[in-house]
Each structure stands twice: as structure tokens, then as C-alpha cells.
Amino acid sequence: MAATLPKMKDVAELAGVSIKTVSRVLNNEPHVQHAVRERVQDAVSSLGYVPSKSARSLRGSRSYSINMICHSDRSNYINAIQFGAVMACQKRGYQLTISLVDTFEDKSVAEVKAAFERITTHPKPDGMLLVAPLANNPIVGQALEELGMRVVRIGPAGVTDNDMRVAIDERQAAFEMTEHLLDLGHTRIGFVRGKENQAATEERFLGYKAALLARGISMDSKWVRKGQFKFRSGVAAAEKLFELDQPVTAIFASNDDMAAGVMMVANRQGIKVPEDLSIVGFDDSEIAENMWPMLTTVRQPLQQFGEVAALKLIESLGQPVSPDTAPTILPHQMVIRKSASKPRSAAT
Amino acid sequence: MAATLPKMKDVAELAGVSIKTVSRVLNNEPHVQHAVRERVQDAVSSLGYVPSKSARSLRGSRSYSINMICHSDRSNYINAIQFGAVMACQKRGYQLTISLVDTFEDKSVAEVKAAFERITTHPKPDGMLLVAPLANNPIVGQALEELGMRVVRIGPAGVTDNDMRVAIDERQAAFEMTEHLLDLGHTRIGFVRGKENQAATEERFLGYKAALLARGISMDSKWVRKGQFKFRSGVAAAEKLFELDQPVTAIFASNDDMAAGVMMVANRQGIKVPEDLSIVGFDDSEIAENMWPMLTTVRQPLQQFGEVAALKLIESLGQPVSPDTAPTILPHQMVIRKSASKPRSAAT
DNA sequence: ATCATATTTGACAGCGCTGTCAAAAAGATA
DNA sequence: TATCTTTTTGACAGCGCTGTCAAATATGAT
């Protein structure tokens, strides 16, 4: 281990220039001759010099850290994203810091701002990663805007979507999953909604509805149950769905946890999956492989969400953000496992 | 939003002292009169002053950040711990940063050191949180020690345990869980081990063994299967265990994921839980409630692990670390749900 | 060759804080 | 009261870097 880390002064001496010139090279500022720039870069790499983030951020500009908010209701969803974000940060010499906030339900802009003010100082992160559903909280959005924070959001947008954002086309994905069931021969397909007031809930539902419509099947509102994106709500929804006079032959739960709940009730009631009932989910979270039969679902590239979002954020720093950037839509993927098959009626 | 954040100078002026005195108060240094100290503290809180971490760390001492390593194999275990750590950091004005390292299997000390050297600069964290199994990797330990990093470990120790560490008494917990099964009337109890070379695997097994011994039951090695702490390995273990000529009436899987695997096989083979087979797990992870019947298990206070470890780390900074600190043992908790009951034979 | 202009470079201050060291105030002793 | 010791306080430098602004150098037009 070197006795002391090399400083900019050392680089300057080795390259035979002033420290300011070194600073210019490191920050890609103009007005440095090509030859000088190269000499400095050689000196930097031969000394293994890394600029001190503390000094840089003290001086007022960047902090070389970005912050990811995690709310108290942590889930696998966020974890995978965080993993990707750390990877991207590490590649670019940034640090990912984690902060914790409450859900900000029924909070005023001023309160939210105060909370973020504490988080966003010392060092003030250069930007923030906001994950759905927090990403779509208008109060949080306004507070952060007033604080001048650069933000990249992750997850489906509500109505507006002219912000920096990374997501999949949830509606299309739900459409395809419903089509999959339809292709298998199902015509009576149940649907378990997610938590209300989350963009994903409506998007996925709209995809389901559109797919039925496209095949000329008129949706029966009895097929649709509310849910909370939680295992328990899948259980509750399944119990109701199984009581129908004319039961559905397939259930599309709008996330995997709820699908697991549905599956559990089926197992408990002796309903054979997939022979008597097809079940599909959404997310491809870990639980999808930890049930029997393994769950057919839609994979969201969560880790990639984090990676792409962090990169997008880092690259946007410095540039002014255009008022209407389009969201980055990443490809989703159908994951066909064993929980959905032809309905019994069609099998004959 | 204040036009500019208050600085130490502002506090000093308000309190009518020099900035150095303010600094002393903030750092709990001696040689400040009680009255002055209070005046300064009032000024600090009335201005809402927060010291600048950049300036502090530039000045050479602390960075006011601690780093938590997450390896590529993330799990719920780590997430819950991280959550607690963030909370504690936030309370103490520290930032938690996350870094990513590979598993360091078959790496030399020099390689590991190089990897950490990159992570631990700019800003150099004041300390690190290491979670099992990384916490017990001797190469990592040596590398970090050579880098002069203060470390707090989380999870059960292997042989040595005179380091700063937070854990539960895993052996005792497994002992109690086995006793629970014994108390219910089981005498033939299967056990699914975890991943080899992890301290938890052996500790939990020893607890199981000791409990049998204490009741004068001689353990049959056919009851014990290897596992990997993964759902799949629970499945594999269960399949073998069910083939026994004289089958076990209860299975203690040494974590919940494996217990879920066991449960799945039971369901699939029409074995009624808990009537025909009791199943218990370890960890009380989310999945424990997401199965049917809900899993009886041992709760590790994971979030508290993170909190206590971070606090312990922060408080140890400055002090020299005594060469043989005892680990902090947190209480575990039996979580009795529905997956274990009297064996059929005993019920009659 | 001369002057005006554009480009490249460097000197220097200072970001907010803490360590050093010396000055001031308080207490102890004769 | 005078002197010495201990405690409390403050002045100031400087951590490593970047912004400002002026100096040096190169380029172009006459």
C-alpha cells in the first residue's frame, strides 16, 4: 500500500505542467493541447492517480455519488434493481448511497422537501434513482424538482411520462401474457389486480383487457379481483374466483407473489395446476421458481433497470435535461414454465 | 429552501465563540465549558446546521460513510440487514454506501486487497460491514486488516470469534427448534444441512444433534441430508428422506427456502402437513408466510443485525479495538405457525 | 514585420473543516 | 498578593481540488 496517495500536484510535476492543467484534462475541459493532454494522461496512469472525491465535492461541483431511495416496504423488486445500480456506479467511479424514507402518504410538499433536504446534503448526491411506486408520487416529484435534484425514475409511468425513466412496456407484456393463455385455448381468464394507485396495476390490467378485446372476448367483471401485490391478496382473490358458478380456467395474477397465493389455494382445494387451472404471474421474481409447478410469468429485467438508470443518470449530469425525454423501454421476456397449459375442455 | 446552507462560521457567530470551539463541541472533544457547549448546541439546532462531510473528510479524518459489501449472490438475508444498517446510519449522520465484490473464491490476498483498495478510496469509508458468509472468509479478513479497515461482521463465526461481530446463538436456536419437535412427540427427525463451509451449516446441525442427544435419542445418519440453503436442495433432500424404509415424522430444514422445497414435495406426493409430516425451517424469511401451511421457524432479527452492527461500528471509530471483543449475541425467537404438530402415532 | 485576436497555460484564492500551537482565563499554591 | 499550573479558547494554516482571471503563446490579417 502506497505511503500516501498521489495528489494532483504529483501528477502535475511528473507531467511538467501546472495543477490546473491536470484538472482540465481530468474534467475534459477544452483548451488543452493534444500533446499536453496525453502527457498528463500518461502521468495519471503511471501514478495510478485517482482524484479525491471529497476535495472535488467540497469545491462545489460534483459529489460522485448517486442516491437510491428505499422505502420501508422493501421488496425483491428493489433489491435486484439496486444490484444493477451498484454495478453501474462502480464501473463509472461513482458510489451508490442508500437512503431510507417513509412512504410519504399524506405528506405536504414542504414536509417531503425537508426530509429530502437532510438526505441530499453532505455530500449532496449528483442525482437520485427513484423506484416505483415512489417514482410516481407527485409530491415527491415536486419536492425533488424544487431542490434541483436530477432524477431518473424506474418503473411504469402514470399519465405523464416525459421524464427520465427506465421501464418495460407493461401493458404490452400483459397483453402478450394474456394472448399466451388465449393461444392455449382459454376463454375464461381471471385477473388479479395489484395495489390501486400504482401505475403498474392499471397498465397490466389494460393489457389483459386489450388482449381479450382483440380476440372478441367480452370480459366479465366477475373475473377481475382486486389485490395488493401480496401473497395474501392472491389467496383472497383465488378463494373468490373459485366460487364462481362458471369458474375461470386460467388466472392471470398481476405479480408472482399473488400468483403464489393463487397456487397455494389451488393446491389446498385439490385443484390440479395446470390441468384444471392455469396460473400465470408477472415479474419473474425468485418465488416463481420456488413453487410447484413452476410459474409461467413475464420477466422484467430488473437488474438491467438499475444499471441502465444509473448510467443514464450519470451521463445526464452536466448536460441540461431536455423537457421531454422519452423513457427508455427495455425488452421484457415471456418465461414459459409449467403452470399454464391447455384447458381441460380444449384438451379433449 | 435556505439560500445557502449554514456553515460552522455562522454557528460560531451566533454562539459568540470561535469556529474551533464549535468544532470541539461537534466532535465531543474535551476542554469546553459546560455553558459554552450548551450555547453552541443551541445555535446548531436553531440554524439546523449539519457539518459538511466533504470538508470533514477532506481534512483527513473521518469520511462519515460506512460501506456494506454485497456479493453477487444477494438474498433476502442481506436485504433485511442492509435495511437496518441504513436506518442506523441515517440516525447517526452517516451514509451507507454499497459495493459489490465477487465471492473471492480461490483468490489471493493480494488480489482481494487490490479489489478492496479500489473500493475503499475516495471517500475511504470509516468502516465496513461484512455479512456471512463473506464475513468468515479468511482471505478477505486478512486483506481488510492489512488495509487497516475497521470491520464489523454479521452472522455466526466459525472457530475464532474474537472480532467485532453481531449474531444470534445459532446452535442454541437449532437446539430449541429440535426440542420443540421433540416436545411435540417426534422421535424420528430428519435434518437438511446448509451449504458446506458456512459456519451456520455446522452450528445449526450441532444444535440439532445436541438436542437429540439430550433426550437420549441416537441420531441416525440416514436422517441427515446435505443441502445448499436453496429451494431446490430442499426438494432433493425431501425426495431422499421420503424413500426411507422407516420414514421420519418431522423434517428440520436448516433454512426456510429449503423448508419450502420440502413442503412442495410433500404437497406433490400427497403427504399431509402437518398431520403426516411436520416441517420446520430457520430464518423466518418472507417465504415462511407464503406457503401452506405457514412455516414454523426461528426468527433471526435481521434488521436489528444491521442496526446493531452499524451502531457498533460507528461507536468503535476513534477507540482502539480491543484484541478480543466478544460478539454481540442478539435474541432469536421461535415462530410457531402451522407446519408442525404432533406426529400421527403420538396423536392416537 | 506589426498589431489585433484567439488559444493555451498558470498563479492564486478559497470551498468548510480540523490539527497545531499559542494566548487567555481560571484555579492552586506559597 | 504574586507566581505557577491547569484548563479553556482562538488564530491560523492547509487538506486537494476547481473557478477566476491574467499572462504567455500561437495564429491571422495587414
Residue range A160-216, pLDDT digits in tens: 666 889 999 999 999 999 999 999 999 999 999 999 988 999 999 999 999 999 999
Q: Is B309 on the interface with A (CB under 8 A)?
A: no
pLDDT given at position B238: 97
**Considering only residues 243 to 272 of chain A, which have any Cβ-Cβ distance to chain B shorter than 8 Å?**
257, 260-261, 264, 267-268
Q: Is A18 on the interface with B (CB under 8 A)?
A: no
B58 contacts A52? CB cut-off 8 A:
yes
The answer for residues whose C-beta is within 8 angstroms of residue B40's C-beta and 6 or more apart is B11, B15, B17, B21, B22, B25, B32
**Closest to B231 (Cβ–Cβ): which among A1, A96, A290?**
A290
**Considering only residues 198 to 237 of chain A, which have any Cβ-Cβ distance to chain B shorter than 8 Å?**
231
CB A15 within 8 A of CB A43: yes
Name the minimum distance, in Å, from the CA of A211 to any CA of chain B. 30
Q: Is-above-0.85 flag for pTM?
A: no
Rounded CA gap, B192 and B281, in Å? 10
Whether A2 has a pLDDT exceeding 60, the answer reads no
B147 contacts A122? CB cut-off 8 A:
no
B120-157 pLDDT per residue, tens: 666 678 889 999 888 888 888 888 887 778 899 999 88
Give me B285's grid cell.
424469511
Residue with cell 437429540: B212
Name the minimum distance, in Å, from the CA of B85 to any CA of chain A. 10
**In Å, what is the separation between the CA of A10 and the C1' of C19?**
24
User: What phi and psi values does residue A330 have, to the nearest 5 degrees?
Assistant: -90, 155
A325, containing H or E segment: none
3-state secondary structure of B243: coil
Between CA B188 and CA B191, with CA B189 as vertex, the angle to 5 degrees is 145
Q: Is B304 on the interface with A (CB under 8 A)?
A: no
Mean predicted confidence (pLDDT) in B100-113: 75
pLDDT band at B2 (very low <50, low <70, confident <90, very high): very low
pLDDT given at position B78: 84
pLDDT band at B347 (very low <50, low <70, confident <90, very high): very low
**Considering only residues 116 to 145 of chain B, which have any Cβ-Cβ distance to chain A shorter than 8 Å?**
117, 119, 121-123
CB A218 within 8 A of CB A212: yes
pLDDT given at position B348: 46
DSSP E strand stretches across chain B: 65-71, 95-101, 127-131, 151-154, 165-168, 189-192, 224-225, 250-253, 278-280, 297-299, 328-330, 333-335
3-state secondary structure of A297: strand
Chain A residue with CA closest to B48: the answer is A118
Could you tell me which residue, B99 or B248, shows the higher pLDDT? Answer: B248
**Closest to B83 (Cβ–Cβ): which among A74, A83, A87?**
A74
**Considering only residues 63 to 92 of chain B, which have any Cβ-Cβ distance to chain A shorter than 8 Å?**
63-65, 70, 72, 74, 76, 79-80, 82-83, 86-87, 90
Which one, of B280, B285, B188, B312, lies nearest residue B242 by Cα?
B188
pLDDT given at position A283: 93
Q: From its phi and psi, is residue B280 left (phi > 0), alpha (psi between -120 and 50) or beta?
A: beta
pLDDT given at position A347: 47
Nucleotide nearest to B34 (CA to C1'): D8
| Residues from chain A contacting residue B260 (CB–CB below 8 Å) | 290
Could you tell me which residue, B110 or A20, shows the higher pLDDT? Answer: A20
pLDDT band at A58 (very low <50, low <70, confident <90, very high): confident
Whether A153 has a pLDDT exceeding 60, the answer reads yes
CB B153 within 8 A of CB B132: yes
Percent of chain A with pLDDT over 90: 47
Whether A289 has a pLDDT exceeding 70, the answer reads yes
Indicate the burial class of B226 (C-beta count within 10 angstroms; 0-12, 13-18, 19 or more). middle
A76 contacts B86? CB cut-off 8 A:
no
**Closest to B86 (Cβ–Cβ): which among A58, A90, A98?**
A98
Whether A61 has a pLDDT exceeding 80, the answer reads no
Q: Is B162 on the interface with A (CB under 8 A)?
A: no
pLDDT given at position B190: 98
**In Å, what is the separation between the CA of A58 and the C1' of C19?**
19
Could you tell me which residue, B197 or B124, shows the higher pLDDT? Answer: B197
Query: What amino acid is encoded at B40 in this protein?
Result: V
Chain A residue with CA closest to B91: the answer is A100
Neighbours of A313 (CB within 10 A): 25
Q: At what angle do helices A138-146 and A109-119 cross, to 10 degrees?
A: 60
Report whether the peptide linkage leading into residue B123 is cis, meaning its omega lies within 30 degrees of zero: yes
What are the DSSP calls for B154-221, one per residue? Answer: ES---S---SSEEEE-HHHHHHHHHHHHHHHT--SEEEE---TT-HHHHHHHHHHHHHHHHTTPPPPG
Q: Which of A93-107, A330-344, B9-23, B309-323 has the highest mean pLDDT?
A: A330-344
pLDDT given at position B32: 87
Rounded CA gap, A264 and B295, in Å? 13
A231-285 pLDDT per residue, tens: 999 999 999 999 999 999 999 999 999 999 999 899 878 899 999 999 999 999 8
- Strand C contact set, beta carbon < 7 A: A 16-21, 24, 30-33, 36, 55, 58-60; B 4-5, 7-9, 19-20, 23, 26-27, 51-52, 55-56, 58-61
Rounded CA gap, A137 and A157, in Å? 10
* A44-53, A138-147, B51-60: range with lowest mean pLDDT: B51-60
CB B154 within 8 A of CB B135: yes
A33-56 pLDDT per residue, tens: 898 889 898 988 888 888 887 888
Whether A346 has a pLDDT exceeding 70, the answer reads no
Mean predicted confidence (pLDDT) in A84-100: 86
CB A289 within 8 A of CB A338: no
Q: Which of A25-29, A240-244, B72-76, B265-269 has the highest mean pLDDT?
A: A240-244
Indicate the burial class of B242 (C-beta count within 10 angstroms; 0-12, 13-18, 19 or more). middle
pLDDT given at position B280: 98
A123 contacts B1? CB cut-off 8 A:
no
Residue with cell 445526464: A316
B122 contacts A53? CB cut-off 8 A:
yes
CB A298 within 8 A of CB A256: no
Report whether the peptide linkage leading into residue A51 is cis, meaning its omega lies within 30 degrees of zero: no
Whether A324 has a pLDDT exceeding 50, the answer reads yes
The answer for residues whose C-beta is within 8 angstroms of residue A233's C-beta and 6 or more apart is A192, A226, A227, A258, A261
**Closest to A122 (Cβ–Cβ): which among B54, B113, B290?**
B54
Give me A245's grid cell.
358458478
* A92-101, A113-122, B148-157, B199-208: range with lowest mean pLDDT: A113-122
CB A306 within 8 A of CB A80: yes
3-state secondary structure of A69: strand
Between CA A281 and CA A289, with CA A284 as vertex, the angle to 5 degrees is 90
- A52-71 as b/e: b if 16+ CB within 10 A: bbbebbbeeebbbbbbbbbb
Rounded mean pLDDT of chain A? 87
Rounded CA gap, A194 and B256, in Å? 26
Whether B310 has a pLDDT exceeding 90, the answer reads yes
A51 contacts B291? CB cut-off 8 A:
no
Q: What share of chain A is helix, strand, coil (3-state, %, to 5)?
A: 45, 15, 40
CB B241 within 8 A of CB B302: no
pLDDT band at B28 (very low <50, low <70, confident <90, very high): confident
| Residues from chain B contacting residue A54 (CB–CB below 8 Å) | 53-55, 57-58, 63, 122-123
Mean predicted confidence (pLDDT) in A121-144: 82
Calculate the alpha carbon distances from A134 to A70, A74, A156 in Å: 9, 12, 11
Rounded CA gap, A74 and A134, in Å? 12
**Contacts of the segment A101-107: beta carbons below 8 A, 24+ positions apart:** A101/A69, A101/A71, A101/A134, A102/A71, A102/A72, A103/A71, A103/A72, A103/A73, A103/A134, A104/A134, A104/A137, A104/A139, A104/A140, A107/A139
Rounded mean pLDDT of chain B? 87
Whether B323 has a pLDDT exceeding 60, the answer reads yes
CB B47 within 8 A of CB B71: no
Neighbours of B247 (CB within 10 A): 15
Number of H helices and number of E strands within chain B? Answer: 13, 12
Mean predicted confidence (pLDDT) in B199-206: 96
Indicate the burial class of A322 (C-beta count within 10 angstroms; 0-12, 13-18, 19 or more). exposed
| Residues from chain A contacting residue B147 (CB–CB below 8 Å) | 1
Name the minimum distance, in Å, from the CA of A218 to any CA of chain B. 33
Q: Is B23 on the interface with A (CB under 8 A)?
A: no
Nucleotide nearest to A34 (CA to C1'): C8
Mean predicted confidence (pLDDT) in A297-324: 86
Mean predicted confidence (pLDDT) in A68-72: 79
CB B316 within 8 A of CB B127: yes
Q: Which nucleotides of D are covered by protein (CB under 7 A)?
A: 7-12, 14-20
Q: Is B297 on the interface with A (CB under 8 A)?
A: no
The answer for residues whose C-beta is within 8 angstroms of residue A309's C-beta and 6 or more apart is A81, A84, A85, A88, A129, A152, A153, A154, A166
Q: From its phi and psi, is residue B155 left (phi > 0), alpha (psi between -120 and 50) or beta?
A: left
pLDDT given at position A57: 77
DSSP E strand stretches across chain A: 65-71, 95-101, 127-131, 151-154, 165-168, 189-192, 224-225, 250-253, 278-280, 297-299, 328-330, 333-335
B261 contacts A118? CB cut-off 8 A:
no
Chain B residue with CA closest to A146: the answer is B1
Name the minimum distance, in Å, from the CA of A217 to any CA of chain B. 33
Give me B85's grid cell.
444498517
